[in-house]
Structure 1
Amino acid sequence: MPPLDQSPWTREGYLSLKGTADIRGAGKVAVNSGALSVGFAVACNTDVTSGVTLGVTGGPTAQMSITYPPALVIGAQVLPNVSTTLRPGTISDVSFGSKKLAAAHAGVELDGVHVKVSGCLGPVAVRAYVSVAISTPLNDNTIHVYGKPHYL
């Protein structure tokens, strides 16, 4: 979708995500606690947050040629310039919600979450993730599941 600010350095979109965790079966060790987290990894290709500088340089010029007949050329020169500092893009994990397990179940569902990235040249990629962490008397375990990248 086109960004609302119409900037070529902004990407904008609406995201949806659903994550659930269920503990099933009879394990050897009871689960003390657990939590579910959902979010998106957001990646910018090239960072241009330093801004853009526009300028003009110019001044008089003179040129003399040794020819017959001798020639002298006087003029003016105007040179526009545009400059910016390009930096490598970044990848940020943005958490959109978490829920503690209750009765061996947790769920988080998001629909139409607005995401905007500014100061980015090139594509912006988003990848959904769901993390489930559980704790037992013997171990702490975390499982991460990632979706396919999508582009804003």
Structure 2
Amino acid sequence: MFVRRAVLIALVGALVATPAPASADPDPGGPDLAQPIATADPALEPGPPVDDGKVMSTPPSTTKSPDGWTLTISAKDEVQMPNAPLTTAISSREYIVSGVFNGALDGPSESPKGVFEVGYQIGCGIDMSTSNGVALTGTVGGNASLGYFGLDFNNTMSDGILPGIGGNVGGGITVGLKPGIINIVPVTKKEYKGDRPWVSISNFHVKIDGCVGESFIRSYATLSKSTDEGDAILSWYGVTKKI
């Protein structure tokens, strides 16, 4: 009896001392329900890129003259930014432009000379500058007529002629539009003497009027080398930008 009691006490003590089994760990790949799920803030999402006006310049243009000179035109750091015109008219276009334009002449030892011209070309879909624009039209006319009338007084017919006056008034609006035109805006025409002429433009405003619809702008440069015998002329055109 004493042995049974001792065994029973030992079993009860072992059960009390044994810890309860731990619960299974949560799936490490699942979400942590104790932490709030982060959501994207629309205010922090990046918006569309802002046009900084920078334009990639086209490759250099080069040619060789009959007297052995090689002419080259190149450009860099071009900027073409649209700007609100002071007139606030929808038919006006204004741009702020910048850029560095370089000419190079390689050939015989004598110092070359000529003209280095730099400017911009602006194309308009519809031109109103050389047309009649918006005009009011109207017509006012009159006409006279003779009419026959008859009166009956006491069975007596009295006949006569009665003059009449009539008029007409008409009006309308006409809009004078012409096909697109290319406006050439030279910024400078530099007479040079040497083999490395250059032009630097910074924050220059170019403005045209009478332009309706889409407009396009591009830079241009023309390098000429002059001698007593002849002229060598080379032109370069930049990338066309739609604004």
Alignment of 1:2-21 (within 5 A): 2-21=84-103
Alignment of 1:68-107 (within 5 A): 82-107=173-198
Instruction: Report % sequence identity.
Output: 27
Structure number with higher strand proportion: 1
* Structure 1 residue identity aligned to 2:89: S
SS class of match (2:89): coil
The CA deviation string for residues 94-131 of structure 1, in whole angstroms up to 9 with x for no partner, is: 21112233332211111111122222111222211111
Q: What TM-score does the superposition give when structure 1 sets the normalisation length?
A: 0.69
Q: What TM-score does the superposition give when structure 2 sets the normalisation length?
A: 0.45
Alignment of 1:31-70 (within 5 A): 32-49=112-129, 50-53=132-135
Q: Distance in 2 between matches of 1:105 and 1:111?
A: 20
* Contact 1:37 1:95 (C-alpha < 8 Å) held by counterparts: yes
Would you say how many aligned residue pairs link Structure 1 and Structure 2? 129
The CA deviation string for residues 28-76 of structure 1, in whole angstroms up to 9 with x for no partner, is: 57454222110111222212242324689xxxxxxxxxxxxxxxxxxxx
Q: Which moved more, 1:29-38 or 1:141-150?
A: 29-38
Query: Gapped runs of 5+ residues in structure 1?
Result: 57-79
Q: Which has the higher contact order (CA 8 A, sep 6+)?
A: 1
Query: Gapped runs of 5+ residues in structure 2?
Result: 1-82, 139-170
Q: Distance in 1 between matches of 2:226 and 2:109?
A: 10
Q: Distance in 1 between matches of 2:172 and 2:228?
A: 65
* Structure 1 residue identity aligned to 2:225: I
* Structure 1 residue identity aligned to 2:115: A
Aligned to 1:127: 218
Larger Cα Rg: Structure 1 or Structure 2?
Answer: 2
Q: Distance in 1 between matches of 2:207 and 2:184?
A: 14
Q: Distance in 2 between matches of 1:54 and 1:6?
A: 23
SS class of match (2:186): strand
